[in-house]
Structure 1
């Protein structure tokens, strides 16, 4: 193999390269051009970038497992179990990382709370928070959009929905942030497991007495639902309730925070679409879906093969790892016309930002409401929102699409 070919292959196989992190659509386009189901020897698994293949992978829960604590993903976790006891014990109970029947049981518990009809009651509170958090933008000065607005809105909403005491919600947020380095595989943070262990211990110690109190004194919140029943007659264990409360605190703010930041960047690239939405507010829902497609907060999720099978021309072996990159699939010309253009009226828009199949993101209806209300208010209030960062840099993680910082200045209408 020539030096140039070897270097080219090495660049393709580095999932944490500058291109893969900061210019992922270029990187995954190059992968897709080689093959939409690409074997990466450095990661020792398949990288799936084609739209049809991503959708098929998410829907194939019979042959592809989501269980992060068995198969090839589980080996490292099990080796870490003795050192990072609390972290591994509770991460292993996250229902999003499990297969049926446990996944089915847990999803039944939470599903009714996250239906579009159920979360619609939160819209007035979201509107109120958006108005409050927008005030610093009105001064026309530089604002830390990621650290204040995008960070605060979803954490307050999910904390109130769960029933986390208001005085503790930002402390809980900080702990869940430390978990993010583990959950999103931030490979360059060498102490991520140590921080994750400490954060998990604090979250467990904080949530355990609250959950025990909910059993004795039920309230109208999601923690009570988790603690008192699972809609099938069998009560969940206390450890399962704690673990999945931690999951919802984390998932309920981290991804929406990143989506809101990515949204601001996307509209700056296509200012005509910001003006279009101002002129036609009826496009708020389709604009939300287009932001999810164009630059969603999750780049991809892992699966592993429970059996050998053929997949889009590739021979998958039992135990093979697979990364289903919906971020790449959402920019595949085979799935979307002119995929690198933001079109808030795009229809149809069958994006994969929330996954597909039995693991479709449960919190999607809540995330949609938050983005819709932010778009509604910001486009009416501001003519432009300009990013001030000299260079936009993203966190070096395989799974999430998250800016390190985002400072902006808004021009009121």
Structure 2
């Protein structure tokens, strides 16, 4: 490894949108951990590639989101005139207390352990309906025809999106992931993100009017009522956070299911083991999250000077990016073959859903959706095989790691 690292110094240590990195980021992470674990990127952010520093940054109150300040530092003050950046500045995901606490408090009841557990029958029903629709074909795209439909249906249920409105969401393209990447957006990419945000805003404003006239037992009704009580939620916060909930409610789950199925079929011994012992599915999902995380990075800003983090001084205002995918392969935490898939691996504690006050509200829902989807697929289609497991088509995004498509047949 050292010889490889020392050769070819012209290759950037961290180039997350390069085709080679998108295809397989893990050798690049190994190189970072070995040579420069607190690496300063060409655009000024610091990437933490070891588990110790990456996990600390997620939990330590000396770090915050500071979205507006971070965006201005990257793009200049005019960036906040762009509608997509104004919208993101209202996301609870990008807020620090007290606004974060206020916004999260408005939706947390929808994601309690009891309410999520009660959704299991509906999740099973959707998975079975999805498979019923394709089973006689003998083939499908595991992303578009399977992994995509389940979480989109469930988040539509939670948001109270009427059945006859949903086809547009099932048919929508998945192009929004680039907005979260650490590499700055081009003007054309910002324009595309603005257009997509405008389209979503128009739809949800219509949904808000519907739920004002016809309240339901759903998150949109709950948030519309909070918006009417202006002390709890502004109109801008309502719109931005519904868009966030819709995107976060399906995007990472699609990738978790797709990446997990690819990992299993690339490791036939683990696939055979899970078929023989379906009770391993809960631990298997944790290992899928560790082995090829659907979220590869989470960023924070230092709220004060930090004298020593992994051997580097961090100044107030510095952006530190926790490389979750790298932390998950760190031999200091996973000493037993960290680059291997092992669905029986003990003590797997992936960082995929973040940490501290920003731990993902929907983490348990995503886990349950993946458990039911993968276990049902293996039971109902035991002869399923991937048509091109060796050279899958990855989406050209870094933070949200997932497949464009995954053709399969049986």
User: TM-score, normalised on structure 2?
Assistant: 0.90
Bigger Cα displacement from structure 2, 260-269 vs 302-311 = 302-311
- Determine if contact 1:154/1:256 at 8 Å carries over to the other structure: yes
Post-superposition shift, 1:210? 2.2
Partner of 1:148 in structure 2?
145
Aligned counterpart in structure 2 of residue 267 of structure 1, from 264, 269, 275: 264
Closer, same or farther: CA 229–318 of 1 in aligned 2, 3 Å: same
Post-superposition shift, 1:100? 0.8
- CA deviation string 1:279-313 (max 9, x = no partner): 22221211111111111211102212222211121
Secondary structure of the 1:335 match is coil
Partner of 2:33 in structure 1?
32
Closer, same or farther: CA 136–185 of 1 in aligned 2, 3 Å: farther
Secondary structure of the 1:304 match is strand
Post-superposition shift, 1:397? 2.2
Partner of 1:330 in structure 2?
328
Post-superposition shift, 1:206? 1.5
- Determine if contact 2:92/2:241 at 8 Å carries over to the other structure: yes
Post-superposition shift, 1:13? 3.2
- Determine if contact 1:29/1:328 at 8 Å carries over to the other structure: yes
Aligned length: 402
- CA deviation string 1:176-214 (max 9, x = no partner): 834333234686876222122112112112112322443
CA RMSD of aligned residues (A): 2.5
Post-superposition shift, 1:384? 4.3
Secondary structure of the 1:38 match is strand
Bigger Cα displacement from structure 2, 324-333 vs 179-188 = 179-188
- Determine if contact 1:115/1:365 at 8 Å carries over to the other structure: no
Please state if 1:22 is matched with 2:19: no
Post-superposition shift, 1:87? 2.0
Structure 1, unpaired ranges of 5+: none
Partner of 2:317 in structure 1?
319
Closer, same or farther: CA 298–64 of 1 in aligned 2, 3 Å: same
Structure 2, unpaired ranges of 5+: none
Closer, same or farther: CA 54–363 of 1 in aligned 2, 3 Å: same
Bigger Cα displacement from structure 2, 135-144 vs 204-213 = 135-144
- Determine if contact 2:384/2:409 at 8 Å carries over to the other structure: yes
Post-superposition shift, 1:382? 2.8
- Determine if contact 2:72/2:79 at 8 Å carries over to the other structure: no
User: TM-score, normalised on structure 1?
Assistant: 0.90
Whole-angstrom CA distance in 2 between matches of 1:145 and 1:53: 35
Partner of 1:401 in structure 2?
401
- Determine if contact 2:68/2:80 at 8 Å carries over to the other structure: no
Closer, same or farther: CA 354–59 of 1 in aligned 2, 3 Å: same
Partner of 2:392 in structure 1?
392
Partner of 2:48 in structure 1?
48
Whole-angstrom CA distance in 1 between matches of 2:37 and 2:276: 39
